[in-house]
């Protein structure tokens, strides 16, 4: 799957929702498609006078496209899985049914709110998945002006398998290193789709929803995200009660490392080694240190990487 970002407005990132991991993936897929059509509209419209009603509400995806996007084999799309009632359905059928019945809540000031249904139509004929979303979703997904937006690595977002870790990645991507994301524990639960009262203790809640999720984000990101302090979060109490409650403040403490084109840069450096154009032991050691630091996704598992690594090590030994 190619690397890239999905842009989500603040109101969608911080919306209250209770979506499974696969349901979130389908919503992200729709947002990618809508943003692509929006970019095409803006590019092809003179004087910035573009009409958002021209952006389609219905999108289709072939089996091969879905397999590439979700990093699965085309054959897996034909497999069945059981829903909560024990009925066997195809891979995306359960998620589509759930999205058709679910919505998100966008909270505003002074008690204002907006309830939005996510899906108005879905069909899969064994070859193509068709999704249609209400027109209000299109406008809300493109509303970056009210409160800003977050830029999220969708490759990492699809790679994560848990409901909570996907939502937490979106929340920490809102401000990245500009400031830590914080809100009340109660609001956080509503955003990620859980309830503090569902757990026997704070330890059970934090282990399941926070610690495991933040650790998975760090491990899966290839150095893009690092736990900044503690276990990746802090709690600021707002009362004298011994236990943590819904009104206490949770602060997500994650550091973002913008890898940019590091993989391509390192590849060029290694090519220089292979061609015998680099003989500085200090520079070679720096490259090896950097590759270990960033743990670049995909490189350590390739024969090309192994050859580059061996060439660097040989060059270091020869230069000493």
151-167, pLDDT tens digit by residue?
Answer: 999 989 999 999 999 99
The verdict on residue 5 lying in a domain is yes
The verdict on residue 244 lying in a domain is yes
For residue 175, the SS3 value is: coil
71-81: string of b/e by CB count within 10 Å (b at 16+)?
A: eeeeeebeeee
**What is the mean predicted confidence (pLDDT) over 107-132?**
89
For residues 314, 287, 254 and 31, what is the CA-based torsion angle, rounded to 10 degrees? -100
Residue 231's pLDDT is 93
Residues 279 and 303 reside in one and the same domain: yes
The verdict on residue 35 lying in a domain is yes
Return d(Cα 183, Cα 38) in angstroms, integer: 31
Return d(Cα 151, Cα 174) in angstroms, integer: 7
pLDDT tens sequence across 39-68:
888 888 876 677 888 999 999 999 888 888
Residue 180's pLDDT is 96
**What is the mean predicted confidence (pLDDT) over 113-142?**
90
Residue 86's pLDDT is 63
The verdict on residue 249 lying in a domain is yes
pLDDT category of residue 268 using cuts at 50, 70 and 90 = low
Residue 314's pLDDT is 63
Backbone angles phi, psi at 130, to 5 degrees: -115, 130
Residues 115 and 46 reside in one and the same domain: yes
**What is the mean predicted confidence (pLDDT) over 26-36?**
93
- Give yes or no for residue 139 having a pLDDT over 70: yes
Residues 5 and 80 reside in one and the same domain: yes
Residue 53's pLDDT is 86
Token pair, residue 221, equals 């990101």
Return d(Cα 70, Cα 26) in angstroms, integer: 10
Residue 169's pLDDT is 98
pLDDT category of residue 32 using cuts at 50, 70 and 90 = very high
Token pair, residue 252, equals 């997500």
DSSP annotation of 130 = E
Confidence (pTM): 0.78
Return d(Cα 65, Cα 131) in angstroms, integer: 14
CATH of the domain at 54: 1.10.10.10
The verdict on residue 168 lying in a domain is no
Residues 270 and 153 reside in one and the same domain: no
- The last residue of one of the domains, among 111, 129, 159, is 159
258-285: string of b/e by CB count within 10 Å (b at 16+)?
A: ebeebbeebbebbebbeeeebeeeebbe
Residues 153 and 215 reside in one and the same domain: no
The verdict on residue 170 lying in a domain is no
Give the structural domain span for 19.
1-159
Q: Which residue did the predictor score with more confidence, 2 or 104?
A: 104
- Among residues 224, 98, 207, the alpha carbon closest in space to that of 162 is found at 207
pLDDT tens sequence across 186-245:
999 999 999 999 999 999 999 999 999 999 999 999 889 999 988 999 999 998 888 899
Q: Which residue did the predictor score with more confidence, 111 or 205?
A: 205
Residue 300's pLDDT is 45
The total of other beta-carbon atoms located within 10 Å of residue 110's CB is: 4
* Count of domains forming the chain: 3
Residue 92's pLDDT is 79
Residues 111 and 214 reside in one and the same domain: no
DSSP annotation of 231 = T
Residues 212 and 133 reside in one and the same domain: no
The verdict on residue 201 lying in a domain is yes
CB 311 within 8 A of CB 274: yes
The total of other beta-carbon atoms located within 10 Å of residue 123's CB is: 12
Residues 6 and 121 reside in one and the same domain: yes
Q: What's the start-to-end Cα distance of the chain, in Å?
A: 40
Backbone angles phi, psi at 222, to 5 degrees: 65, 35
Residues 59 and 203 reside in one and the same domain: no
Mean pLDDT of all residues belonging to the chain? 82
**What is the mean predicted confidence (pLDDT) over 14-41?**
93
Residue 142's pLDDT is 87
Token pair, residue 113, equals 């709110």
- The last residue of one of the domains, among 258, 274, 297, is 258
- Give yes or no for residue 257 having a pLDDT over 70: yes
Residues 307 and 237 reside in one and the same domain: no
Return d(Cα 122, Cα 95) in angstroms, integer: 10
- The last residue of one of the domains, among 218, 243, 258, is 258
Between 70-79, 98-107, 119-128, 146-155, the lowest mean confidence (pLDDT) is in 70-79
CB 11 within 8 A of CB 149: no
Residues 138 and 25 reside in one and the same domain: yes
DSSP E strand boundaries for 45-120? 58-62, 80-82, 88-90, 103-107, 113-117
- Give yes or no for residue 302 having a pLDDT over 60: no
pLDDT category of residue 289 using cuts at 50, 70 and 90 = low
The distance of Cα 140 from the centroid of its chain, to the nearest Å, equals: 19
Between 39-43, 176-180, 285-289, the lowest mean confidence (pLDDT) is in 285-289
pLDDT tens sequence across 242-256:
889 999 999 999 999
Residue 46's pLDDT is 75
Residues 251 and 195 reside in one and the same domain: yes
The verdict on residue 167 lying in a domain is no
pLDDT category of residue 267 using cuts at 50, 70 and 90 = low
Return d(Cα 145, Cα 183) in angstroms, integer: 21
Return d(Cα 39, Cα 292) in angstroms, integer: 37
């Amino acid at each position: 799957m190619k690397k890239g970002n999905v842009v989500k407005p603040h109101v969608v990132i911080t919306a209250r929702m209770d979506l499974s991991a696969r349901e979130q993936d389908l919503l992200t897929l729709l947002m990618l498609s809508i943003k692509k059509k929006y970019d095409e509209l803006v590019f092809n419209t003179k004087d910035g006078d573009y009409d958002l009603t021209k952006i389609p509400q219905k999108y289709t995806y072939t089996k091969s496209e879905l397999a590439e996007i979700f990093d699965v084999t085309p054959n897996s799309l034909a497999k069945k899985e059981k829903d909560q009632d024990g009925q066997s359905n195809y891979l995306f059928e359960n998620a589509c049914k759930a999205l058709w019945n679910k919505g998100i809540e966008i909270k505003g000031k002074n008690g204002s709110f907006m309830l939005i249904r996510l899906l108005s139509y879905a069909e899969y004929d064994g070859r193509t998945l068709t999704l249609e979303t209400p027109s209000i979703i299109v406008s809300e997904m493109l509303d970056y002006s009210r409160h800003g937006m977050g830029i999220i690595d969708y490759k990492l977002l699809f790679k994560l398998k848990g409901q909570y870790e996907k939502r937490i990645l979106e929340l920490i991507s809102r401000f990245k290193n500009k400031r830590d994301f914080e809100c009340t524990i109660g609001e956080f639960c509503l955003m990620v789709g859980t309830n503090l009262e569902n757990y026997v203790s704070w330890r059970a809640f934090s282990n399941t929803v926070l610690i495991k999720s933040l650790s998975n984000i760090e491990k899966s990101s290839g150095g893009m995200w690092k736990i900044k302090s503690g276990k990746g979060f802090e709690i600021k109490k707002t009362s004298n009660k011994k236990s943590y409650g819904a009104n206490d403040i949770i602060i997500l403490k994650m550091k973002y490392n913008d890898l940019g084109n590091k993989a391509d840069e390192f590849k060029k450096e290694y090519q220089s080694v292979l061609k015998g154009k680099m003989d500085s032991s200090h520079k070679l050691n720096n490259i090896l240190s950097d590759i270990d630091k960033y743990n670049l996704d995909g490189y350590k598992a390739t024969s090309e990487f192994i050859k580059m690594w061996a060439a660097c090590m040989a060059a270091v030994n020869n230069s000493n």
